[in-house]
Amino acid sequence: METTYITSRTNPLVISFSKLAEKKERDKTGLYIAEGYKLCAEACGRVSVAYAVLRQDREQNAAYIELAQRSGGACIILSESAYDKISKDHAPDGILFVIQMESREIPADLTGERICILDGLQDPGNVGTIIRTAAALGFDRVILHGCADVYNPKVTRATMGAFFKISVSPCDALDDAIACLQQTGRRVLAAALSDTGITLGKDLLLPTDCLILGNEGHGVSDTALRLCDATIKIPMTDKTESLNAAAAAAVLLWEYSKLQ
């Protein structure tokens, strides 16, 4: 395997990788970073890796070298100082992949897919955690509208590798996505505290239902509420008003995972 060694933090390649922490640079280059041994291992064979980057103290670690070789990307060994300029982990494993973005368009035919839609979630940790939960509970696709950038390193890290196992589709036109689902006869339900909607555990759920989960502070947008077939709520005691977005998603997705 041909390997490039870089020691300087001001090397142009190191600088370009460090800029991938910014969305505008990711959009410009079509590249993003997945960091950490587990995440990189999950990425292998599933995405196109442009560069496999190792910190110098991992150069003699057979597992890390083997993973870099399997990635198919050009291998780069960085000094600890240069690696730290790129890394966003507090305790880095010492390996990261620079990956080429792939098409994440929503296909015309969504028949048969279990789908969750995220509407306006801004916390990368919540977005990543919900993607991870959806994958674990058998969902096929997560559609994101107005959410934290799916290629944000905090999002990919929070998915714990699920990002590479489930379809994740950013969506600019939420109304079109909802209409597309409804045209196939599916109900689209918005998670919201409403006295007139469906109550989890009391009302009939359909395995073809699609869920919409809203912003951490403001909930589902007015647009989504207007277009959805109904709302759905989790019954709670009067000791609390709401759940964290990721916790609410876990409860709802778990209930739907039990439907055939």
Q: For 124-136, what is each residue's pLDDT tens digit?
A: 999 999 999 999 9
Distance (Å, whole) CA 26 – CA 235:
41
Task: Please calculate the CA angle 232-235-247 and round it to the nearest 5 degrees.
Answer: 80
pLDDT in tens, 21-66: 999 999 999 999 999 999 999 999 999 999 999 999 998 899 999 9
Output the average pLDDT for the chain. Answer: 93
Task: Decide if pLDDT at 68 tops 70.
Answer: yes
Distance (Å, whole) CA 163 – CA 205:
27
CATH code (residue 157): 3.40.1280.10
| Amino acid identity for residue 245 in this structure | A
pLDDT in tens, 242-255: 788 999 999 999 99
Distance (Å, whole) CA 84 – CA 53:
12
Amino acid 1: pLDDT = 63
106 in a structural domain: no
Model confidence at 260, in pLDDT bands (50, 70, 90)? low
Residues 86 and 193 in one domain: no
Amino acid 162: pLDDT = 93
* CB proximity list for 84: less than 8 A, separation 6 or greater: 92
On whether the CB atoms of residues 150 and 168 are closer than 8 A, the answer is yes
Mean pLDDT of 141-148: 96
Q: Which residues lie across from 191 on neighbouring strands?
A: 232
pLDDT in tens, 205-224: 999 999 999 999 889 999 99
Residues 56 and 132 in one domain: no
The tokens for 213 are 């989960």
Task: Decide if pLDDT at 18 tops 80.
Answer: yes
Q: Which residues lie across from 119 on neighbouring strands?
A: 145, 214
Distance (Å, whole) CA 22 – CA 222:
30
| Amino acid identity for residue 9 in this structure | R
Q: Which residue has the tokens 């991992």?
A: 58
Domains identified in the chain, total number: 2
Distance (Å, whole) CA 94 – CA 158:
18
On whether the CB atoms of residues 243 and 236 are closer than 8 A, the answer is yes
Q: Which long-range contacts (CB under 8 A, 24 or more apart) does 240-246 make?
A: 241/193, 242/193, 244/126, 244/216, 245/121, 245/123, 245/126, 245/130, 245/213, 245/214, 245/215, 245/216, 246/125, 246/126, 246/129, 246/130, 246/133
Cα 224 → chain centroid: 21
Last residue of a domain, one of 75, 100, 125: 100
The tokens for 205 are 């759920």
DSSP state of 107: P
Amino acid 19: pLDDT = 97
CATH code (residue 10): 3.30.1330.30
| Amino acid identity for residue 117 in this structure | I
Q: What is the domain range of residue 224?
A: 115-257
109 in a structural domain: no
